[in-house]
A and B are shown apart, each in its own frame.
Chain A
Amino acid sequence: MNDTLIEFKDFRLHFFTDEGVVKAVDGVDLVARRGKTLCVVGESGCGKSVMAQTSLRIVPKPGRIVSGSIIYTTKSGEVVDIATLDPKGTKIREIRGAEISMIFQEPMTSLSPMHTIGDQIGEVIMLHQKVNKKEARERVIHMLDRVRIPRPERLVDEYPFRLSGGMRQRAMIAMALSCNPSLLIADEPTTALDVTTQAQIIDLMQELQREYGMAIMFITHDLGVVAEIADDVAVMYLGRIVEYADVYTLFNAPKHPYTQALLSSVPKVTVERQPLEPIQGMVPNPFRRPRGCTFHPRCIKAMPVCKTLEPSLVQVGPTQVRCLLYEEQRVQSRLPAD
């Protein structure tokens, strides 16, 4: 069987607002491999969360898929293009929760305060599997135990507000994994947690990945977390992938000036005080994307040509990078972008 579980092909999703078009995702090619962890990294507004939501077709209006496809292979071996599914249709409903599930940053806002933990997770199980209420409850307790929640048989009847942040995130993970999905999408799942709790949750996710074999698409802005869990890393900037490589290559030999700048602008716990090199300026207004390379106004290696010529994603060794520094030929001949 093929290694590829889900593949984004030249995927574009734009938001058509009254003030103009926001190209949240603008031509992304990305692969999540079976049983592996793909990290999508970027700052706010780079489109990483929209990528995650798209996989479940839960992008809010006025977001619209403009082009491209999301090819997903189901457990039964069927190949579907998620991008063409009706977001309210039965097909995507079969996929949500059972094939692809998601956990979010703030577990308090994604769990219902009105229902017990057991009822909420049980609902997911009963929706996708032919089990009665009692069996579902047994399964919930089993799942809560799997995510190492203490005394699961008591906690199953508790409401979310009774749980700490770390425990709520564990409950979310239990819910997400309750139907044994092939892909778990985690959108900044540890950002709101304390460091020691974050470390526990990351350990837990890795342990569960080894046990259940699901692929993880991990959305984050924290490069430390990426270094800890990723197999593959895609760095996004303004709706595009600027660098895509395996985790070791990315950290040992970052190619794109944005990736390099991200790595050097973060204070490090292991290093004594030395001046930080901040990235100049800020993420541009999405309505006024810079021409040429969208990163050029902030790039310390920018060349005059970067203002007009759009870089394309090129292969440099094991890395795919979108930067004119690696496109000498095109820069010299000034070919138009493809």
Chain B
Amino acid sequence: MSSDLRTLFSEALSGNLRAIGRLLTALENPYEVPPEVFDEIMARAGRAHVIGVTGIPGAGKSTIISRLVREYRRQGLRVAVIAIDPSSPLSGGALLGDRLRMQEDSKDSGTFIRSVSTRGLKGGLSLAALAMVEAFDALGYDKVIVETVGVGQAEVDVMSAVHTVVVVTMPGMGDEIQALKAGVMEIGDIYVLNKSDLPDAQKAYEYLSFALDKGELGAQDSQWRPRLVRTSAVMGQGVSDLVNAIEEHRDYLLKDSKFTAKLASRRITLVRLMAERLLAKGVEEAMSRLEGRITENALKSKGLLDIVRDLAKEACSGALSP
């Protein structure tokens, strides 16, 4: 398996789409990947500008992303998109519909779109998404766009690992600000008022603008004033303004090494998620082994806390064993 993944990685490096697809699959479960390959990925990564796109459902995130992709391609940049969709908590299945809206040009090998579902697994999504970000980065993609739904712990983890958070909203939400006061949407670097051809757009724009100026909304960074951009993605309007705003943010990050600081925090999150995953599995295995032994009597004689400590010890050694 190991030499296979090394070959896969070098094929992916040379741009083979199938190899990239399969590499990403392997990375959905980073422990499947031999350490050398993983380390090489980490060594090569660091250049890509990672952009998170989130927002209100129906605001047009996917259309905005497809416009961004087109614009970046026009500039000759390679773009990868990771589209995250929720899974059904009941069946574990998912309908991954975002790529449909992105209208990828199938003849252009400079783009790559990958869908991931939340899979109901704690931490599983974030881990897969972050590992994929590292991979796209290592493979030389200039822009890596991660599209998420906007709320939930997984999304918070993912967004903490991106450089620029873009929040997409639209007019007619009633209370535009309130709708955004949830999860990651509250701390965006750039806000996009899409569908700005709609009737309430001017009012919504003023409202949002005010909220951003007051600091009611937006990432709390004394040196970056969150931008508000008006777009009508379906009409193709405002996209260049958005592209410029994103570049401004990137330039801002590159000064004072904030760019690399974000990279570091991404890796810290990755480490944390991997450790949690490792330990979670360890606990699971230990539990199945201990099952019979946790009885009424055991609880009486040993005490709950001691049992937990024993379990934790077993979990750790199990997790770390080769």
Same complex for A and B? Answer no
Which A residues form the contact surface with B (CB < 8 A)? none
